[in-house]
Amino acid sequence: MLKGLHPSRRAFLASALGAGGLAGLAGPAQGQIATKPGPVEPTWNSLVANYRYPDWFRDAKFGIWSHWGPQSVPEQGDWYGRFMYMQGHPMYEHHLRTYGHPADTGMMEVQKRWTADKWDPEGLMDRFVKAGAKYFVSLACHHDNLDCYDSAHHGWNSLRVGPGRDVVGTWEKAARRAGLKFGVSNHTSHAWHWYQPAYAYDPEGPRAGERYDAYHLTKADGAGTWWEGLDPQDLYTGRHMVAPDGIESIAAMNAWHDAHDGEWIESTPPGDTAFARQWLLRQMDLVAKYRPDFCYMDNYELPFGPYGLAAAADYYNRSLEWHGKIDVILTAKQLTPRARFGLVQDVERGFTDHLWDEPWQTDTCLGDWFYNRARFTDKSYVPAAAVVQRLADVISKNGNLLLSVPQRGDGTIDAEEEKILDDLARWFTVNGEAVYGSRPWHVYGEGPTQLQVGMQNEGGFEGFVPGDVRFTTREDALYLFVLATRDAPLQVRALGRRALAQAGKGRIARITQVGGGPVRFRQDADALHLDLAPEDLFVPVLKIEGPGLV
């Protein structure tokens, strides 16, 4: 059972099995929900024992994500469907000015306005491929609880509401025609607590105390409307943590939400296992219909205890049926040591400071996750150079980078995003050989920048500086990414004669710039000294060759 595993996985399994530890990680059965039968069972024991990291993911390195849904319509950025119900928040004020009071016009009405009328999936996919993507991910359902696909178990979906189209299915066809691996992202397990402000009210002002739309709307109220036959309570998830009457200030209401529904909760809603069961049915339907190569869970490990384990086992068993092996990626966040061998760790908008034994992923965005017009007007998107710096840092540490390119509600991207994609395309055309199919060297790199480990912390990052370099290897070549250039010669200590000898590496015979010519260098005991010519392309890459270097 343990033969052929990575040493760190083998050591973990041997320790856990020897102590009987994995047996205690098993979850209870899933009632009458029929998951895909197969050798993978809904226990951590079985996930860890059966999972292997697919080579296609390790080779791909770079993916693009369409984190796109009805919250793109207001062009205000992230979490509109929650913040529009919180008096005093800028999104509440925008909603009041643009759509009306949330007691009258709620998030369901914003979902109706998601038309996607200018969406060109084939044209965008062509841009994404040219910009370097080897896999593409479509948002399947966010916390706003609208399934962006042909959902068999949830009436609030994009064929019935908004675009009138199977968004995930359309993206899937476009991605596969372009030769990309295809993925989906599922964020809906958090809808039940995220949406609770929709049941609250204004604590101040002329409509103080009047409950918002989620509190009073029922299926019967839809008679003769655009949403006839749909139950708003299925969308807003029901009253799980409803703010009590009598809160009379915005500060007090915000404090109530922060203390109750504002936390990141992975457990089943209190007294409502039906929501968790419905989540599992929707997840199984999603993977059965679109056969994704990749599935992103917006969770700390897996949600809802045994239901999350059942979803993972179902996905892996389906992969065995599709491919004859588990050839899919299932990501989650904040993984404990046990889970890191049954799933793939995702580090949202964050960093690591070391080379990982197992593959992992960072996901980040050019701007806000959902389209924010201010990013365009302020020209505050992440530039292509910074994207490539992050890519080089991540792949040098055995990771992948998944990049979201925000779309407007109509499906288009703006001129600033187009320019960034064009710049990425120019860089990948020259330097792709150092990325695709590469593997880490024995050290990831070096430089003065000290990264803060963790997720959700890139906002405080001030950028890479001259002297920061990263390594990858491919076949017999060593690649050096120069993250930031300067006029002075570059010195790389890891490539000095002493460091190479200590690492058991060979000698440097020649250095060329990828896409260019030979590079002059001098090597002494302490460092490799390089003279780099001025370049018009950011993050130049050097190809270093010699016997025994890799």
What does 206-264 look like in DSSP terms, one character per residue? TTBT-B-HHHH--GGGGTTSTTTT--HHHHH---SSPPPTT--SHHHHHHHHHHTTSS-
| Domain match, 383 and 501 both | no
The domain total for the chain is 3
**Other residues' Cβ atoms within 10 Å of the Cβ of residue 299:** 21
Amino acid occupying residue 459: G
Amino acid occupying residue 220: A
Which of 240, 259, 278 is where one domain is finished? 259
Residue at 30 is within a domain = yes
Distance CA 256, CA 382 (A): 35
**Are 134 and 150 spatial neighbours (Cβ–Cβ below 8 Å)?**
no
Residue at 440 is within a domain = no
Task: List the domain range (segments joined by +) for residue 541.
Answer: 445-545
| Domain match, 103 and 237 both | yes
**Are 131 and 424 spatial neighbours (Cβ–Cβ below 8 Å)?**
yes
| Domain match, 411 and 354 both | yes
Residue at 237 is within a domain = yes
Confidence at residue 486, expressed as pLDDT on a 0 to 100 scale: 84
Tens of pLDDT, residue by residue over 158-176, are 999 999 999 999 999 999 9
Residue at 162 is within a domain = no
Q: What is the CATH number of the domain that holds 27?
A: 3.20.20.80
Confidence at residue 1, expressed as pLDDT on a 0 to 100 scale: 35
Residue labelled with tokens 């389209």: 371
Q: How far is CA 463 from the centre of its chain?
A: 21
| Domain match, 232 and 203 both | yes
Calculate the alpha carbon distances from 65 to 118, 191, 347, 402, 408 in Å. 18, 21, 15, 7, 14
Residue count of the chain, please give it.
Answer: 550
Residue at 313 is within a domain = yes
| Domain match, 48 and 176 both | yes
| Domain match, 307 and 419 both | yes
Report which DSSP code applies to 531.
-
Confidence at residue 487, expressed as pLDDT on a 0 to 100 scale: 78
Residue at 161 is within a domain = no
Distance CA 114, CA 443 (A): 47
Which of 205, 234, 259 is where one domain is finished? 259
| Domain match, 394 and 481 both | no
| Domain match, 410 and 280 both | yes
Residue labelled with tokens 């996607």: 116
pTM: 0.94
Q: Report, as ranges of residue numbers, the positions in the chain whose pLDDT lies below 50.
A: 1-10, 12-30
Confidence at residue 31, expressed as pLDDT on a 0 to 100 scale: 55
| Domain match, 251 and 351 both | no
Q: What is the CATH number of the domain that holds 454?
A: 2.60.40.1180
**Are 289 and 239 spatial neighbours (Cβ–Cβ below 8 Å)?**
no
| Domain match, 64 and 78 both | no
Distance CA 550, CA 88 (A): 58
Residue labelled with tokens 């994207």: 387
Amino acid occupying residue 540: P
Residue at 156 is within a domain = no
| Domain match, 278 and 396 both | yes
Residue at 142 is within a domain = no
Closest CA to 157 of 63, 211, 257, 227: 227
Which of 394, 409, 434 is where one domain is finished? 434
Structure token pair of residue 463 = 């950028």
Distance CA 344, CA 53 (A): 8
Confidence at residue 535, expressed as pLDDT on a 0 to 100 scale: 76
Distance CA 540, CA 531 (A): 12
| Domain match, 311 and 417 both | yes
